[in-house]
Chain A
Amino acid sequence: MSFAPDATIVLLALPAAAAALLAVLPSYRLSAALNVAAALAAFVASASLFVSAPPPNAYILIDDLNVVFIVLNTFIGFTASVFSATYIAHEIETGRLTPDHLRFYHAMYQFLLFSMNLALIANNIGLMWVAIELATLTTVLMVGIYRTQAAIEAAWKYFILGSVGIALALFGTILIYMAAQPVVGEGVPAMLWTSLIAHAPQFDPALLDLAFVFLLLGYGTKVGLAPLHAWLPDAHAEGPTPISAVLSGLLLNVALYAVLRFKLLLDANARALAPGPLMATLGLVSVVFAAFMLYRRRDVKRMFAYSSIEHMGIIVFAFGVGGPLANFAALLHMAMHSLTKSAIFYTVGQIAQVKGTQQIAEIRGLTVSHPLLGWSLVFGVFAIVGLPPMGVFMSEFLIVSSTFARTPGLALALAIGLLLALGALVLRMQGMAFGAPAGSTAPAKSSALPILAHFALVLIAGVYLPPPLVTWFQHVAQLLR
């Protein structure tokens, strides 16, 4: 029991200390190893939260909802650091990055993990906002690290759109405070989740409505919902691949978590607007839009970035539809998408390093030249488009079927979006994986372990979901209504 209160401190202090240390360490090999060690320690600390969580106080809140996010985040943070350790060695060899860049990169990596942990753990809506802003600024710097024209354009676009989103979210946060202040009283208590949710039924519904619109648009920009998604494909395509994996697997989820928390506030107030339909609409638009956009991609990382927009759309749609089953499916889908998509980015990152290009047209016959990478790509695409028996299939099936029971029209639109995306991804994957090999056939140098570990988890989850996990997700799904 005495370990539990320390777990949250470990989650915050460890990455922060690691960031400071990595900022001064000159050797990139040592830094990479330390980076992995710190990420692993954070994962272990977060896993202990499952067993015993500290009681909420003025700064920290651990409940059943955010534990899921924290554990998923620290796990992928860990595997991405393993992948990154082998990935960056190659970047040094090719001269795309210098050791100085890497010192900066590793420090920023840990700082990013720190700010995401803080955003998930914080009990205070202001603190959460600050943490998400820090995470945004950190990733802006990392996206621009190659300093090519395209990377700078991507970082600039991300910075401008991300800041506007963050600004709108702050306005929403202030409005929430204004709504809470007459009921809860002035000062800090009016910004704590624990007191907000307890008093939400008495808040002024009109203020809550307006606040939610700003928060949904603001944090929705960070989730990558269409039409606010414009930064996402560029940021994914031009940054280092481990960061693409972290963006897709983690940062989008953190923003989604913020939206979910505020949705709970509105759900608790009977007179406020129902947040579900707004979220379902934005989600559905994102799915269908991204599915069409997938067909015209020529850059492989950009293509999978659009696939992330599609999947975040599916998740937001499912949370918007609501009900225990759809919420359960959305949580499952979030976990499955994070695992699968980050593994795909690990694969694609290696492919791009081997071939020296991200152009889909110039990548051919991977299953012949690089069997492991080629088949990983095939497996990853099959998993992400939702073919059985992988985990994404189960969650997508649950989402479509639970929606079909309530609003058949929406379920149909969603299914069309899913099928369109399936067509596009499988079409592009065929060209890359099969046929006569083109380009370099040098062996891949990065570790395949993170890829295989993620795919194994996705496959196992699709076949057999452990009952404790099911009960946990069901419990959270009921909390979310």
Chain B
Amino acid sequence: MKGLAFDVSHLLAGGLVLVSFMLLYQDRLYALLNTFALQAVVLSLSVAWQAYVQDADHLYVTAFIAFAFKAIIIPIALHRIIVQLGIHRDVENVVGVGPTMMAGLALVALSEVVMLRIASDADVLAREDLAFALSVVLLGLLMMVVRHNAVSMVVGFMSLENGLILAAAGAKGMPLVVEVSVAFSVLVALVVIGVFLFRISERFESIDAEALDSFRGSR
């Protein structure tokens, strides 16, 4: 049983990292949102498995929140936003898929090396989980760095948060407070982002964040 528990959680966490890689090269916004929804599904499965393994019922709630909000509500909301903004056919220039993927690989290697060495006396499951979680966090960061489109940046940020939830779920017995707050704050963040996206579109008729950068104020 111990072996199975370990293998399944390994598989799911690894799947999360894989989907993070898939996010890196999506150049159409619809595809990007669908991939993000997929990542949220994998996350909720992973959290639910942790709940089962750790016998921690509150994690089921976290898994449900991840599924409901991130796999359904948020992608649908963003779908509607990009349709309203009329940018759903836009193809984003993803610069250098090859180098980005290589950088992603390097980041994953880095987090594996760091975490496996550091948490050597923590229990194996938590350690592996943490290593995967750090990979997802770093890949989310990478995505925010290489994308210019506001929607892609937001998706990058949310995939980064997925990594955080994976880490929190893997930490045995971590109080519910934190997970709910993360889910909640993501929701708040979305409200903020929604407001911003609309304001940006009102002002510039484009949500390319580079358009924002062109105005540098007087600094």
State the A residues within 8 Å of B (CB).
124, 126-127, 129-130, 133-134, 137, 140-141, 144, 147, 149-150, 152-157, 159-160, 163-164, 167-168, 170-171, 173-175, 177-178, 181-182, 186-188, 190-191, 204, 206-207, 209-210, 233-234, 237-238, 296-299, 302, 358-359
CB pair B117–A144 under 8 Å, yes or no, is no
Contacts of A358 in B (CB 8 A): 218
User: Any chain A CB within 8 A of the CB of B141?
Assistant: yes
Chain B residue contacts of A177, Cβ below 8 A: 171, 174
- A334–B144 CA distance with the chains assembled, in angstroms: 33
Contact with A along B137-161 (1 / 0, CB 8 A): 1000100100000100100010011
Nearest-neighbour CB distance to chain A for B121, whole angstroms, equals 6
Q: 17 interchain pairs (CB within 8 A)?
A: A134-B185, A150-B215, A153-B215, A155-B196, A159-B196, A163-B157, A164-B144, A170-B168, A174-B168, A174-B171, A174-B178, A175-B130, A181-B171, A186-B172, A204-B119, A297-B219, A302-B218
Hey, which chain A residues are within 8 Å of B192, CB to CB? 137, 140-141, 159
Q: Answer yes or no: B102 CB below 8 A from chain A CBs.
A: no
Using known A-B contacts A141-B192, A174-B171, A204-B122, determine if residue A127 contacts B177 with beta carbons closer than 8 Å: yes
CA distance in complex: A186, B134 (Å): 22
Residue ID in chain A nearest B134 by CB atoms:
A171
The minimal Cβ–Cβ distance linking A126 to chain B, given in whole angstroms, is: 4
Verify A182–B122 contact, CB threshold 8 A. Answer: yes
Q: Is the CB of A171 within 8 A of B164?
A: yes
Q: Which residues of A contact B120 (CB under 8 A)?
A: 206
Shortest 8 CB-CB distances between A and B: which pairs? A186-B173, A206-B118, A126-B178, A130-B181, A153-B212, A150-B217, A174-B167, A299-B218
B 4-40 binary contact with A (CB < 8 Å = 1; else 0): 0000000000000000000000000000000000000
Q: Mark B74-96, 1 if CB is under 8 A from A, else 0.
A: 00000000000000000000000
B114 surroundings in chain A (CB, below 8 A): 210
- One digit per residue, 1 when the CB lies within 8 angstroms of any chain A CB and 0 when it does not, for chain B 200-219 equals 10011000010011010111
State the B residues within 8 Å of A (CB): 114-115, 117-122, 126, 130, 133-134, 137, 141, 144, 150, 153, 157, 160-161, 163-164, 167-168, 171-175, 177-178, 181-182, 185, 188-189, 192-193, 195-196, 199-200, 203-204, 209, 212-213, 215, 217-219
CA distance in complex: A161, B114 (Å):
24
Q: Find the B residue at minimum CB distance from A361.
A: B218
In the bound complex, CA of A238 to CA of B215 (Å): 13
Known: A155-B196, A160-B153, A174-B167. A210 touches B118 (CB 8 A): yes
A126 engages B217 (CB within 8 Å): no
Residue of B122, B137, B150, B178 near A167 (CB, 8 A) is: B137
